[in-house]
Amino acid sequence: MHYASCPANPGQIHGETMSKIISAAQAVASISDGQTVASVGVIGWVVPDATLAALGKRFADTGSPRNLTFYFPCGTGDAVGIKGMDHVAKEGLMKRIVSGSYINPVDPRTGQRPALMQLIQNNQIEAYSWPIGASMHWLREVARKSPGYVTRVGVGTYADPDQGGGKFTARCSDDLIQKIRLGGEDYLFYPTWPLDVAIIRASSADEFGNLSFEDEPLVSAGLALALAAKASGGTVIAQVRRIVPRGQRSAPEVRLPGMFVDSVVVDPEMMMTTDTPYDRNYLVPGSNTDAFPVIPFGPDKVIARRAAREVRKRELSIFGFGAAADVPLVMAEQGLVDLRTGSDDYWFTTEHGSYGGIVMNGWQFSANLYPQSLIDGLQQFDVIDGGLCRFAALAFAEYDAHGSVNVSKFGKANPGAGGFTDIAANAERLVFTGTFTTGGLEAAYDGGRMRIVREGKVSKFVRNAQSITYSVAQGVARGQSALLVTERAVFEVAPEGLVLTEVAPGIDVARDVLGQMAFAPHRILDPLPLMDAALFDPAPHVSRPGGEVSDEEPAFASAGR
């Protein structure tokens, strides 16, 4: 670890030398047994990794501190290049974790699942999962010392006490989420409790601890965590890349005042995200468009091309993690978005507050390439819960006969909902994307036709979902519209159930569609239209979105609730 390139005498206040700059080991030395430690991060982005690593090392070396509760509003670290919460995933150190999402990749070098996921699967800790909208907005309630956070989002889902209350291990005994009634309607209530330590990240600090984020493409929950910890009487540790002289930055550049920061850890080598030390293309509209990735042709690209036809002009569109994030990349490849100047026609964002540019897929998801603006995590969920994202494209792991979609818990995967539940509950139009089956699916394409070479081992269309992340059926009953787009078929969600509306050329409906479902669609269109053959052409092509709003149509109508 390298520490600050800063003055030997970094600052004086009222004649007394005062420096908040200390090592990561010194910063975590005061954390005591039984405390609650909160930290920021979105996959590999904005993770104070060196400080979390120091806390894990302290426990490994000394056996202290013990029985900590960890609060991560989002999945912190990717457990591969940037370990994040995997640093502290140690039995004895971690008693309880509450997180808006969990990371569950297989490390390509070791073939191992994350240490945290192993603790969860072996019931060695208390693990709770909250929708990220709740994990973000809850911090505001802690900061203002309110009794708790109240929301209708999540009623009837895995977060509902009637469906498990977000408990991911049998060790969980406390009910961190309650169900209440207000005005004759059900709500979820998240009682507040104090945060003792917040570990956050910024780009630069001065000797007083004033923080700015000029190198970070996301802010996430950093500001909210700091204020919640200080309101709780706790401490704030900020990890930064560099120290700058006091007064060098203008006031608008400083996002968090130093009086809310207790100590500063300097790590000049901290990564922007895994495999990316620093990339200006995640901070500004593009000048170097060579960084733009092209999705290889296959089922995922077919799905993205078809889903792209549902994107409308001048309608704020939000894209979730997984297959849905391929849609903006396909649209950029089709020339619908100017990578250098952005687009006044197509408005893209994710749950993490990056606006404009191109939503990225895989482990680069969360920070947009070539963005035009940025807001923090709590504000972004104000946007989402306010229904301003009228269109949402989201991936799905399971869809069941009752109209429930699952991405939160399936098989050995316990990823949690992330922003999925809030996004799905508050959008007006929904598209769920994913392959029909998973686990070894192979397809071939020839002359605009598709053929299943090897079927996946697991069908995503099940009788009963293992976890309810969102009830699409209830959303449609409230006035939402919803499609399921796969590589071989498209379904519309009607009030009565699924309607098969399109099938890929070359696909046998009885064998390749109905035969891979644990339940039958409510209806099949007759005659059944074929998906456009151009979707299955490996050559690049322009597949313009099918629906476009008129100039007179308001861009921000209230979403169907």
Distance CA 105, CA 113 (A): 6
Token pair of 341 as six digits: 């100047």
Distance CA 95, CA 200 (A): 21
Token pair of 362 as six digits: 């895989």
Count of beta carbons in the 10 Å neighbourhood of residue 102? 26
Distance CA 487, CA 507 (A): 10
3-state secondary structure of 28: helix
Distance CA 278, CA 319 (A): 24
Residue showing tokens 């849609």: 327
Residue type, 340: R
Query: Buried b / exposed e across 197-212, counting CB within 10 Å, b at 16+?
Result: bbbbbbbbbbbbbbbb
Query: In terms of Cα–Cα distance, which of 381, 462, 311 is closest to 131?
Result: 381
Query: In terms of Cα–Cα distance, which of 96, 118, 91 is closest to 107?
Result: 118
- Rounded to a whole number, what is the distance in angstroms from the first to the last CA of the chain? 50
Q: Is the previous residue joined to 527 through a cis bond, with omega within 30 degrees of 0?
A: yes
In order, the DSSP letters of 234-285 are -EEEEEESEE--TT-S-GGG--B-GGG--EEEE-TT--SBTTBS--GGGTSS
* Catalytic residue annotation: 351
Count how many residues are written for the chain. Answer: 561
Distance CA 558, CA 535 (A): 33
- Strand (E) or helix (H) holding 475: helix 472-477
Distance CA 206, CA 6 (A): 9
Token pair of 162 as six digits: 């009637």
Distance CA 45, CA 377 (A): 13
The 8-class DSSP code of residue 560 comes to P
Helices (H), 357-454: 377-385, 420-426
